[in-house]
Structure 1
Amino acid sequence: MDALKIYKPANIEKLISKRKGEVKFGEKLQFINNLGDLENNSARYVVLGIPEDIGVRANHGKPGTSKAWQSLLAALANIQVNRFNDPENLVLLGELDCKKFMDKAANIDASDPNYHIKLGDLIKEIDQLVAELVEKIISSGKIPILIGGGHNNAYGNIKGAAKATGDPVNVINIDAHTDLRQLEHRHSGNGFSYAIEGQYLCKYAVFGLHKNYTPEYIFKEMDFSENMNYHLLEDLLRFPDEINRRFKECIETIDNSKFGFELDCDAIANFPSSAKSPAGFSVNQIRNFISMASKNKNCCYFHICEAAPDETSAVQIGKTLSYFISDFISE
């Protein structure tokens, strides 16, 4: 696939801070020469970057999610290899080359009355590429870990997973929002709507939904559907000692078959994201959720999206995302 930039060790060599007597993740990560090599690779997990923020902008959101991938790489490369961390179970595949899409988006005049629609057309092209990559990775017997990018990429993840498994998949989404907005132009707020419309998504659960930012029509839609449920953040925070149990119950509502695991960083309190909020889960609570979901045999992909680093937050965001990945691949 021309749009896939496959990484070699040289791509991260300069990021590794080597020290005598220590071994870093970047020195032991696995790499492949082409997608066909995945089937014969012993690693269970494959990490892929999707550095774009077009879907966020198409949803009238704050740009910057395109920078999360580079923030992660430096942190991931420098995790210590020890008895608790096994980088040899992880293939660093590379990144979807989004440059041409980002360049096209930059050349669209923001005053154009069709500005958001034209951004949506670019997202449709990215959708197809993401779906093809996710389908290939899962069909190779691996679990993709996708680093966005906006939450628009959930649609490609779900479509690719459904095509690989041969059935619509279920999804659990830790998110402040449902992303079930109307079927207008494609953007970061309607990926799950399009996945349902395409019959790629079956059961859908949102954990940590913010009542202040969910339209009434979406609440009605979810209440009416037998395949959708939600857990309001406001209800969960009333009983903090019960949160892990409730998350386990949430997983149990959708884990009767293959499911995708979506994490929108908007759900984390005070986290630099496209829709940063003062309310939400803590990073440590999120880490617990990740550990719980990853141990379920039906979890078929993990998507982290909407992190939006700037010069002051890039290092901390990179470290946070690297914790999330190490938690997910931990046996």
Structure 2
Amino acid sequence: METRHWTYYDRADLKKWSGRIDGTTEEHLRWHQIIHCIDLRDELDLSGSYVLLGFACDEGVLRNLGRPGAAKGPEILKQTLANLPVFRNKKTKLIDAGTIHCKDKQLENSQDALGFVIHLIIQRGGFPIVLGGGHEITFGHYLGLKANYKNKLGIINFDAHFDIRKPQHEIPTSGTGFYQIAQLEKQLNYLPIGIQKISNTQVLFDTAREYQINWIESQDFRDRNKKVILDQIDAFISGIDHLYLTIDLDVFAASYAPGVSAAAFYGIVPDAFFLDIYTHIIASEKLVSIDIAELNPEYDYDNHTAKLAADLLFRLVIA
């Protein structure tokens, strides 16, 4: 193991998992009552487990001139997840594997550490659920997946932004992740959903076309287009071997997700149509990991955004 990566890692703390207790028998249980907190430096078998990992970082957001605060996202999201119910028919195994922190503005090193830890989780049989943190989470997450999966890896990104900007002076940000991935891949297998014209410059659309990326714009993400959207998603998944799903919470309208690094007034509504699409994606047998990006508690109202993120992860775990 490369010890330098552990500089950015903190083990999980069971004291941070607390909540309501209605009883201790199976039908009463909530996540905080069944979660196992571990130290990844121990050689543990994670087979069959959903493994939560925090990425407490918003240095990429700051470099991208966004509003800070997402570094606090993982802790708040874990607090929100704590009270979710457990359903006895699922036999759910939940593990908190701790948190990667971005220390001293060392974004690149923290991304390397994130990749290293995700690699370990997958090697040991776990399914990574990574909690951000800014969308600089993408590149680190990708590094960990690429270390395990040598066949074609595809990424679906719910996001108002392409995040395919070329780094200025070779300095990565929260908006450069997919450009960085493209430099390491012969072909970028990438499907962005929820793109907004108001949030992306012409050069970003041009770059997407250059890399032969097909995308779904927010204005077209409507129930009347459901068959076309599902066909596009299915065609994308059929062309890859492994699927990584990343959800930037700024894809949602600000009334539903105010607590993000770059709020969008308009955006996707997390209604029954969205949930049908989301459920269809997470049902894929090719799905190997997921992350939630850009939860910014500094701007959240009554934990609306954290509760939305928790709901999405709840649906994954009980699916």
Q: TM-score, normalised by structure 2?
A: 0.87
SS of alignment partner, residue 129 of structure 2: strand
Unaligned runs of 5+ in 1: 106-121
Q: Decide whether aligned partners of structure 1 residues 235 and 311 sit closer, same or farther in structure 2, where only a CA change above 3 A counts.
A: closer
Q: Per-residue displacement from partner, 1:18-61 (whole Å, max 9, x unpaired)? A: 234632111112333435544x2343321111112111010011
Percent of aligned positions with the same letter in both sequences?
21
Superposed displacement of residue 277, structure 1:
1.0
Work out whether residues 48 and 125 of structure 2, in 8 Å CA contact, stay in contact via their aligned partners in 1: no
SS of alignment partner, residue 72 of structure 2: helix
SS of alignment partner, residue 131 of structure 2: strand
Work out whether residues 72 and 317 of structure 1, in 8 Å CA contact, stay in contact via their aligned partners in 2: no
State the alpha-carbon separation in 1 of the partners of residues 176 and 202 from structure 2: 16
Paired residue for 1:246?
229
**Does residue 1:274 correspond to 2:274, yes or no?**
no
Q: TM-score, normalised by structure 1?
A: 0.84
**Does residue 1:97 correspond to 2:101, yes or no?**
yes
State the alpha-carbon separation in 2 of the partners of residues 166 and 302 from structure 1: 18
Paired residue for 2:220?
235
Partner of residue 26 from structure 1, selected from 24, 27, 32:
32
Quote the RMSD (CA, aligned, Å): 2.3
State the alpha-carbon separation in 2 of the partners of residues 275 and 252 from structure 1: 30
**Does residue 1:329 correspond to 2:317, yes or no?**
yes
Unaligned runs of 5+ in 2: 1-5
State the alpha-carbon separation in 2 of the partners of residues 278 and 162 from structure 1: 35
State the alpha-carbon separation in 1 of the partners of residues 68 and 302 from structure 2: 14
Superposed displacement of residue 157, structure 1:
0.9
Partner of residue 301 from structure 1, selected from 279, 289, 302:
289
Partner of residue 125 from structure 2, selected from 124, 134, 141:
141
Q: How many residues align?
A: 304
State the alpha-carbon separation in 1 of the partners of residues 87 and 158 from structure 2: 30
User: Equivalent residues in 2 for 1:150-229 (5 A)?
Assistant: 150-167=134-151, 169-184=153-168, 185-199=171-185, 202-226=188-212, 228-229=213-214
Q: Decide whether aligned partners of structure 1 residues 142 and 199 sit closer, same or farther in structure 2, where only a CA change above 3 A counts.
A: same
**Does residue 1:265 correspond to 2:236, yes or no?**
no
User: Equivalent residues in 2 for 1:50-61 (5 A)?
Assistant: 50-61=55-66
Work out whether residues 84 and 330 of structure 1, in 8 Å CA contact, stay in contact via their aligned partners in 2: no
State the alpha-carbon separation in 2 of the partners of residues 219 and 309 from structure 1: 30
Superposed displacement of residue 169, structure 1:
1.7
Paired residue for 1:112?
none
Partner of residue 77 from structure 1, selected from 68, 76, 82:
82
